[in-house]
């Protein structure tokens, strides 16, 4: 019998989850829950239902794992603990500073209901976190580096769009190649924000808008751009659509460390991702962890987990025997 | 109280474990067991004992985890199941084809004694296996690539040393840069053995040996060199000692896969290691898994485990709270 998945929220991430389920024959999409009118939501999977978000609890015996595809700012802090009352849940909560608080909320709800909740799944937090943790456990003496990009930052693109006179915009975060090379050489550089990443912006202006003023506003925007070397390109709406409609991303996690009685040997561990579609890759990670949620719950485990708490084999459709014979 | 570690076998790997323990304040080296005369074995740790291998069982209440540092060919198939009768054990068994058999033997012994045995720990098998497995679970449709090097292959160096007229030798395995680049581009190339790696040999001849015959013997040696583009350099003993006495290694694990309803998006996951000292890095991984063995045993778990079966958090000296707050 396959693992029955529900999706709450049908945006880029929800659609990505739907696509990922199709690549995993031991899973099936049972239903998509939406806050929109279900009649206006067309999904790709013929065999799945589209329902109102409020009906989700009625599906508690027909869904093994509910994947929460809302945003971290306002949706997930409420939704994940709420739906953990009825379902094993997986989310991609990515507000790093608030993870401890979110963990506590989901843990309490999931323990009370006897369900499993896996939070902060994706690539950062997620696969990048795992690689930071493994590398730190292996090389206790060393330095950590995370670089993001080249990729589209939704938050930074939105910040530009909020500027008066901007019709549309896309912002790319780009690692500085020289900084990456220094880290790889094992020189353990101390890198400022500016030295690690540059920001490149493609902006479509409203008719008659003042380009110079907007460029200045972008480049001096605190938190978002002021601490970076930022480039601004003004382009047409057609160019933005033609050249910048994808959602690529990726990045690098490195740990540079030493071993030996006198710390005489250097080592470099590097993990990198190059992703055509940020939401689809995130979804693919989430779906693997949905399998883990199902299995952990089948074993009688309850409460909140993160990627740190889950043995890798739980993610794979293969048995332990198969994994040892083919991948070890 | 710190985790008390024993080391069986004091070669490069055993010394590496000793150095790694020093970098982990929650661990201490209790004793080194050797098949040599303990009087002739000098270790680096003042506070640890050096004992005969036959005495190891007497230490069963004074050691939490015994790390087996013998070879995979003849030592570990016997030692790991044997010592799992008395200790939680960790080994670096690396004969990939015989892992299922070794697992079964260690599992039976460890279940009978109520101990935990973790096998095949290191970087390949070990961290490379983990990365293959995670990447396959995340991207079910894709291709796997593992490249080794640049690094010293002990087995290939030994094979050259066995040739008549060879005094000493060092062999480097080197990934072919163009092959790596093709994989990174996402073209999913089908690569022959020859297209993936080259082999470079540094050979010291016995006086009067026939260089041309030896070069020919190396280049045509079945399994070891015949399927590769092999370069042979004849150098002096001094040069070998001066330029080739290190034991560097490393490599790359890549998975190139697709997502999307029509498989329209490509993704690349890459993990790489660049190691000054192969045995010290392997030891560092083993010591992190020794911590896991101790904790799993403390929870009452028994039997054989591999890196696939162990939740990442068990490797870290940090608590779950600390990990979530600092690394997620």
Polymer length of chain B = 328
- Contact, B290 vs B90, CB < 8 A? yes
- Prediction ipTM score: 0.97
DSSP state, residue B11: S
Q: Is B324 in contact with A103 (Cβ distance < 8 A)? A: yes
User: Euclidean distance between the first and final Cα of chain B, in Å?
Assistant: 28
Q: For residue B271, which residues of chain A lie inside 8 Å, CB to CB?
A: 131, 269-272
Helices A127-138 & B127-138, crossing angle to 10 degrees? Answer: 170
Residue A192 in 3-state DSSP?
coil
Per-residue pLDDT, A128: 98
pTM listed for this prediction:
0.97
Which residue, among A26, A265, A282, A322, would best test binding to B if mutated, counting the most B CBs under 10 Å from its CB? A265
Contact state of A260 with B277 under an 8 Å Cβ cutoff: yes
Lay out the sheet containing B249-259: strands in order across. A142-148, A249-259, A265-275, B265-275, B249-259, B142-148
Are B266 and B236 contacting, i.e. CB atoms less than 8 angstroms apart?
no
Angle between helices B278-298 and B12-22 (to 10 degrees): 60
CB contact under 8 A, B288 and A138: yes
Count CB atoms within 10 A of the CB of residue A182: 17
Q: Decide if pLDDT at A1 tops 90.
A: no
Contacts of A95 in chain B (CB under 8 A): none
- pLDDT tens digit at each of 328 positions of chain B: 899 999 999 999 999 999 999 999 999 999 999 999 999 999 999 999 999 999 999 999 999 999 999 999 999 999 999 999 999 999 999 999 999 999 999 999 999 999 999 999 999 999 999 999 999 999 999 999 999 999 999 999 999 999 999 999 999 999 999 999 999 999 999 999 999 999 999 999 999 999 999 999 999 999 999 999 999 999 999 999 999 999 999 999 999 999 999 999 999 999 999 999 999 999 999 999 999 999 999 999 999 999 999 999 999 999 999 999 999 9
Please tell me the predicted confidence (pLDDT) of residue B123. 97
- Which pairs count as long-range contacts for A40-46, CB under 8 Å and 24+ apart, including other chains? A41/A10, A43/A10, A43/A15, A43/A18, A44/A15, A44/A18, A44/A19, A44/B261, A45/A18, A45/A21
Residue B32 β-bridge partners: B7, B50
Task: Say if strands A142-148 and A151-152 run parallel, antiparallel, or are unpaired.
Answer: unpaired
Residue pair B99/A328 in contact (Cβ under 8 Å)? The answer is yes
Mean pLDDT of A26-51: 97
Helices (H), B58-207: 75-83, 99-113, 127-138, 154-161, 177-185, 193-196
Distance from CA of A196 to the nearest CA of B (A): 19
pLDDT at B274: 98
Q: Do B269 and A269 touch (CB under 8 A)?
A: no
Alpha carbons A294 and A4: distance in angstroms, whole number: 9
* Chain A contact set for B100 (CB, 8 A): 321, 324-325
The rounded distance, in Å, linking the Cα atoms of B316 and B115 is: 21
Contact A306 B327 (CB under 8 A): no
Determine, for residues A266 and B284 on separate chains, whether the beta-carbon distance falls below 8 Å: no
Q: Residue A196: pLDDT above 90?
A: yes
Residue of B nearest to A44 (CA): B261
Answer for the pair B259, A20: CB distance below 8 angstroms, yes or no.
yes
Contact check, Cβ <8 Å, A96/B317:
no
- Is the Cβ–Cβ distance between A72 and A102 less than 8 Å? no
pLDDT in tens, A255-298: 999 999 999 999 999 999 999 999 999 999 999 999 999 999 99
CB nearest to B288's CB, from A137, A273, A284:
A137
Rounded CA gap, A119 and A289, in Å? 10
Q: Which two tokens stand for residue B254?
A: 């890549």
H or E element in which residue A214 lies: helix A211-219
Residue B309 per-residue DSSP state: G
Model confidence at A136: pLDDT above 90: yes
- pLDDT, residue B1, reads 81
d(C-alpha A29, C-alpha A5), whole Å: 5
Give me chain A's average pLDDT, please. 97
Q: Which of A269, A4, A311 shows the shortest CA–CA distance to A137? A: A269
Residue B252 has a pLDDT of 98
Q: Which chain A residue has the Cα nearest residue B275?
A: A267
DSSP string of B244-287, one letter each residue: S--B-EEEEEEEEEEESTTS-EEEEEEEEEEESBHHHHHHHHHH
Report whether A229 contacts A198 (CB < 8 A): yes
A–B interface: beta-carbon pairs under 8 A = 218
H/E element, A131? helix A127-138
Cβ of A259 within 8 Å of Cβ of B283? The answer is: yes
């Amino acid at each position: 019998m396959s693992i029955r998945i529900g999706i709450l929220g049908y945006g880029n991430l929800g659609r990505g989850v739907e696509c990922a389920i199709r690549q995993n024959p031991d899973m099936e999409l049972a239903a998509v829950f939406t806050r929109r009118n279900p009649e206006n939501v067309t999904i790709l999977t013929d065999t799945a239902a589209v329902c109102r978000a409020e009906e989700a609890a009625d599906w508690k015996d027909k869904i093994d794992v509910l994947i929460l595809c809302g945003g971290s700012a306002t949706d997930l802090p409420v939704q994940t603990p709420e739906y953990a009352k009825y379902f094993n849940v997986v989310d991609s909560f990515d507000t790093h500073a608030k993870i401890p608080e979110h963990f506590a909320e989901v843990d309490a709800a999931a323990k009370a209901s006897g369900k499993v909740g896996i939070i902060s799944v994706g690539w950062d937090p997620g696969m990048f976190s795992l690689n930071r943790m493994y590398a730190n456990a292996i090389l206790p003496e060393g330095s950590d580096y995370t670089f993001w990009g080249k990729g589209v930052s939704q938050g930074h693109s939105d910040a530009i769009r909020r500027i008066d006179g901007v019709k549309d915009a896309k912002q790319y975060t780009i690692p500085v190649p020289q900084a990456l090379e220094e880290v790889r050489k094992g020189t353990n550089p101390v890198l400022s924000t500016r030295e690690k990443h540059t920001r490149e912006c493609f902006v479509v202006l409203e008719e008659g808008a003042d380009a110079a003023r907007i460029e200045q506003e972008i480049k001096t925007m605190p938190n978002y751009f002021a601490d970076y070397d930022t480039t601004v390109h003004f382009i047409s709406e057609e160019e933005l659509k033609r050249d910048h409609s994808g959602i690529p991303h990726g990045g690098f996690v490195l740990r540079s460390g030493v071993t030996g009685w006198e710390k005489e040997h250097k080592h470099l561990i590097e993990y990198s991702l190059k992703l055509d579609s940020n939401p689809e890759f995130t979804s693919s990670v989430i779906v693997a962890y949905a399998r883990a949620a199902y299995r952990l719950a089948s074993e009688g485990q309850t409460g909140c987990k993160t990627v740190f708490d889950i043995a890798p084999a739980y993610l794979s459709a293969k048995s332990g025997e198969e994994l040892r014979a083919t991948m070890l």
